[in-house]
Structure 1
């Protein structure tokens, strides 16, 4: 495992993956608020890549409420993990002219099916999410479907501040935002931190 301190190094490695001549799937994992989505988007802008967030496999709010898991939204068992694994297999083989992936829309707090188109000739697919390296089934099938997986980390105080601000921006009161960030989100962050050693590279972002 190698630490990557600069964005230019990350771009160079992503470009090398995109230039292999065969479809490559790059995973980017990290705790909530660590900057996974920002990094994935920046890499996609710099190289020929399509971003597929794991968040598209959030269970619908109605189903979370039925299961009694709505207050833990974002925990591993609040996703359709098996569906995510199935999509990764399709992305690896690239058999269809276009593979469609779901997208999570924060403005409505719901996933939308078929929102992301991944054409067969896309050389690099960047998959970003929290649980790409978790060793419990069915998440444990994910690493073998990735060509590389990078772990993103950020100063803990900065990460929490960003996470709280994000929750507030999506309708929570400051008190609710802090409680969620320091409660359910923090439990998830601890689980994710335990997967760091399984990553191929560690990318340390700055604020």
Structure 2
């Protein structure tokens, strides 16, 4: 495993996009590591340079807030069991094995804290699909099936102090009090972060955005 600077990472992404058959590039990392922003920027740059790309985040497979409330998992939203992991695996398998189909994926909308179905398109001409999320390298079912579907998976890493600051700020932005934001950041989010950090050794590269 190697650390890639932005230029080397971009060259590797271009190589995937021009390989001749559809590839899937995973971007993973702990909450607030910057993986979503990095994936969005990489997809935008590739598209601006004429490559046919799509970005399909794992967050679209969050269980609905009403479901989390019903089954008592709202307080740990973001943990592996609060996603439809089997659904996400099935989507990426379809993306990989059925490149001639028009595929529609869900998108997570933070403003409503819920997913919106069939709002991200993956057209047949797309040669590189980027997917980002916390558990792309988690070695337990159903997540463990993802690694075989990813042609590359990169782990985004930032200093922990910065990550915590970002996470608390995000929670406050979406309506939590300073006390609630702090408790969430150093409670369930931190437990998830440790789980994710343990998967870093399975990545193909480390990215410091």
TM over 0.5: yes
| TM-score, normalised relative to structure 2 | 0.95
Structure 1: gaps spanning 5 or more residues: none
Q: Which secondary structure state, in structure 1, belongs to the residue aligned with residue 56 of structure 2?
A: strand
Q: In structure 2, how many angstroms separate the alpha carbons of the residues matched to 1:163 and 1:171?
A: 13
2:63 corresponds to which of 59, 62, 68: 59
Q: Is the 8 A contact 1:23 1:94 kept in 2?
A: no
Q: In structure 1, how many angstroms separate the alpha carbons of the residues matched to 2:99 and 2:123?
A: 10
Residue 40 of structure 1 is matched in structure 2 by 39
Consecutive aligned runs of 4 or more in structure 1 exceeding 2 Å deviation? 94-97
Q: Is the 8 A contact 1:27 1:148 kept in 2?
A: yes
What does 1:1-207 align with in structure 2 at a 5 Å threshold?
1-4=1-4, 6-47=5-46, 48=51, 49-205=53-209
Deviating more after overlay: 107-116 vs 6-15? 6-15
Q: Which secondary structure state, in structure 2, belongs to the residue aligned with residue 149 of structure 1?
A: strand
Deviating more after overlay: 93-102 vs 124-133? 93-102
CA RMSD of aligned residues (A): 0.9
Return the offset for 1:157: 0.4
Q: In structure 2, how many angstroms separate the alpha carbons of the residues matched to 1:103 and 1:81?
A: 15
User: Between Structure 1 and Structure 2, how many residues are aligned?
Assistant: 204
- CA deviation string 1:120-167 (max 9, x = no partner): 111100000000000111111010011110000001100110111111
